[in-house]
Copies of this chain bind each other. A is one copy, B any other.
Amino acid sequence: MTPMTNPSTVLSAIDQHHIDQRRYPHGVAFMDGQYLPMSEAKISVLDWGLLHSDATYDTVHVWNGRFFRLDLHLDRFLAGVERLRMKLPYDREKIASILKQCVALSGHKSAYVEMICTRGSSPTFSRDPRQAENRFIAFAVPYGSVANDEQLERGLHVAISETVRIPPNSVDPTIKNYHWLDLVKGLFDAYDKGAETALILDTNGHVAEGPGFNVFLVKDGWLRTPAFGVLPGITRRTVLDLCAEIGLAATAADINRDDLKKADEVFITSTAGGIMPVTRIDDTTISKGQVGSITRRLTDLYWQKHADPAWSTAIIYP
């Protein structure tokens, strides 16, 4: 190194535009009144949605050109926005219209559709959340699932992590939120054990939920899903609704690790994948390693409902 090139005295130039070499999935986003390709859907690094995870969101899916239970997702999203004391410039009807446009413009017949409200930011970078201009974003990308086709066929291998889900007296789980480091930790714990995904615990040591899904067990014909400290998932609710419809007993109550390992059947539920079988928990094989009959029956019924106008909404494509 010569004295002339001492790196601490050589100043770089400021570029006027960011050049982004990354690739993004095909889809359409909505921001600030514009519909945009996914590569343009970006928020400032100063948005409190990033810097404080001060945001709520919801995801709804489209299957065969129809939203599934859109109203329930809108209900949950709008309730979350209000409880975080954020304000949107759009009403419920306009948001529904934006989501439909994103999907229609994307052309995706099966889509994963997300609506987001972040705290946003203020021009002065004020730390007072009341001074921030809230931000709304929506996007539609191809449908994705927690479980791939092979896993749906043979059942997922799940490991139970010692990590504890963020408790309700810290962050209200009924406000759908991005506080996921506990779930990500659980996921890495599961990978370390050779499993494919994770369940983590509630503050009392019971099984809570996994990264993006709720869990159910079936024992002697009864279904059970955790009640405490979990996201009230729409797919979870859908399973409870389907059970009521076909006369299966189902309750929301504590589940401990042994309950799960001694269950006749176990499955997980998520907007990203629907009802997905679990056939191994840690080193215990569930349901003889086969997808159980009640899991299969509910899964079939779940997908049938996607064509039912009482449960789904058609999208009009160009």
A36 to B130, CA, bound (A): 28
A64 to B123, CA, bound (A): 24
Q: How far is the CB of A33 from chain B (nearest CB, A)?
A: 9
The reply to whether A36 and B14 contact each other, CB–CB distance below 8 Å, is: yes
The reply to whether A15 and B41 contact each other, CB–CB distance below 8 Å, is: no
A71: interface (CB < 8 Å): no
Query: Contact mask A57-89 → B, CB, 8 Å, 1/0?
Result: 100000000000000000000000000110000
Q: Which residues of B contact A40 (CB under 8 A)?
A: 15-18
Q: How far is the CB of A130 from chain B (nearest CB, A)?
A: 7
Choose the segment among A133-141, A240-248, A275-283, A290-298 that binds chain B (4+ C-beta atoms closer than 8 Å).
Answer: A133-141
Copy number of this protein in the oligomer? 2
The reply to whether B139 and A166 contact each other, CB–CB distance below 8 Å, is: no
A239: interface (CB < 8 Å): no
A177: interface (CB < 8 Å): yes
Q: Which residues of B contact A195 (CB under 8 A)?
A: none
Q: Which residues of B contact A188 (CB under 8 A)?
A: 85, 129
A57 to B, closest residue via Cβ:
B51
A184 to B, closest residue via Cβ:
B54
A25: interface (CB < 8 Å): yes
User: Could you name 6 residue pairs across A and B whose Cβ atoms are closer than 8 Å?
Assistant: A8-B97, A16-B37, A50-B50, A84-B181, A164-B169, A164-B170
A171 to B, closest residue via Cβ:
B181
Give the top 7 A-B pairs by smallest Cβ distance, nearest first: A42-B42, A52-B180, A23-B123, A53-B53, A164-B169, A170-B182, A166-B170
A211: interface (CB < 8 Å): yes
Q: How far is the CB of A236 from chain B (nearest CB, A)?
A: 18
A222: interface (CB < 8 Å): no
A225: interface (CB < 8 Å): no
Chain A interface residues toward B at CB < 8 A: 7-9, 11-25, 28-29, 31-32, 34-46, 49-55, 57, 84-85, 97, 100-101, 104-105, 112, 116, 119, 121, 123-125, 127, 129-130, 133, 137, 139, 141-142, 144, 146, 162-167, 169-171, 175, 177-185, 187-188, 191, 203, 211-212, 272, 316, 318
Q: How far is the CB of A136 from chain B (nearest CB, A)?
A: 11
A21 to B, closest residue via Cβ:
B32
Q: Which residues of B contact A164 (CB under 8 A)?
A: 167, 169-170
Assuming the A-B contacts A25-B124, A165-B170, A181-B53, are A18 and B44 also in contact, with contact meaning beta carbons closer than 8 angstroms in the complex?
no
Q: How far is the CB of A28 from chain B (nearest CB, A)?
A: 6
Q: Which residues of B contact A19 (CB under 8 A)?
A: 32, 34
8 Å CB contact of A179 from B39, B100, B142, B181 = B181
